[in-house]
Structure 1
Amino acid sequence: MTGLSEARDDAERAALIEAGRLLFARPCTFFHAAQKPEQLPPPGLPEVAFCGRSNVGKSSLINAVTGQKALARVSQTPGRTRQLNFFNLAERLVVVDLPGYGYAKASKDLQRDWQGMMFDYLRGRPNLVRVMLLLDARIETKTADRAAMELLNDAAVAFQIVLTKADEVGPVKMATRFAEAQALAREHTAGHPLVLVTSSRTGQGIDELRAEVAALAA
């Protein structure tokens, strides 16, 4: 199934949105966690990973997309979770919650460990079909975000930029941030052309994100 960026008309777009709604209305359950490459589960169903800075709102967005309030734990201390968490979505797709990066108080050793672990996962995962790269709509793109894009590009893993916390940004600033995100995607061979704008609090963009993920399911 094609994604929203390939939809030819409103009817096809509506069908994609409905497919996303139906998929995420089904059970999504945690089944595995890994802190080292050797702990990863065997490749199987298509995997879509969610990645972003430690305070980007990743857990809240995963909970909003899956319609489950506590599927991904929202930590009060950004950067605390240092493992990959795997969730089975209706035996059609695996959602992977990657540990956050760029936490200011993280040691350099911990930051290097994150990069090494991520590259091992990204380059050695044949069933990883896309990474949803979350960027905070309220602030400028950080050096750590650009480094993550380069890591994904070097690993030849397709990534799609998802702007979060859109409800906290005015229309003028959002237009600027959206244009910046589009330019960043175009700069990378692995970047997906469609940038999504979301808010886990208001539900903005959640249907579109579900549709994009559903298009990648088995």
Structure 2
Amino acid sequence: MSEVKIKELRSDIDELNELLKLSKRKKIQDILSLEIRKLETEWINLKETENASTPMDTTLAPTTSTSAQKKYQIKLNGYGWDQSDKYIQVFVTLKNVHTVPKDQVYCKLTDRSMELHIDNLDNKDYLLVINKLLEPINIAESHWKQKTDRVVIFLAKSRPNVKWSHMTEIEKKFEDQRNNRFKTDDSEKKDPQESIMSLMKNMYETGDDDMKRMISKAWYEGQHKKKTDTLDL
């Protein structure tokens, strides 16, 4: 299932990149770039999980248990992150995680990777792996906290005040490759309006409030510019 999902995401990203190359208005380019980045993050997380998985690649993998009831390990893909001058903060949402004893919620860290382990939550073990961090971290000053329905990991930056553009090297690599491709690729001249408008409609119908506001603003400004151009003529 994950392999099929990875292929579908890659196809979606490639098609969005083609539309981005054809688009002319900055607002449209910003919206397409945002959607591409979201899909690429999801694609990268799935790829990392696929590469790190055992030969038995299932969402629920039985783990060793001394009891008659089997425990399962669930590999987590989703997380949020933010940063301050000193820390990269990783947010993992998981219902009832605050009820797990503290010694069963822990991280294994290296200077360029982190693993979050949550053991025996409703008879399941949870694992989040993030490899190839963009910058090295200070393991001794890193820590984590359990909060209501979530865990927050504080990864201390080895170089405080250095802003991370991405969470991992892989994400930055794909972003750089995409930007370089746009600079060097001399695409064919053709009218992109029909494909872009169809995509924008779909993104508006399925997007969140911020996405809808961006699309509405871009549409309004585009229509206003058309009227102004006509009056000038």
For Structure 1 versus Structure 2, the TM-score category normalised by the shorter chain is under 0.3
Q: Which structure has the bigger radius of gyration?
A: 2
Higher helix proportion (structure 1 or 2): 2
TM-score w.r.t. structure 1 length? 0.22
TM-score w.r.t. structure 2 length? 0.21
Higher strand proportion (structure 1 or 2): 2
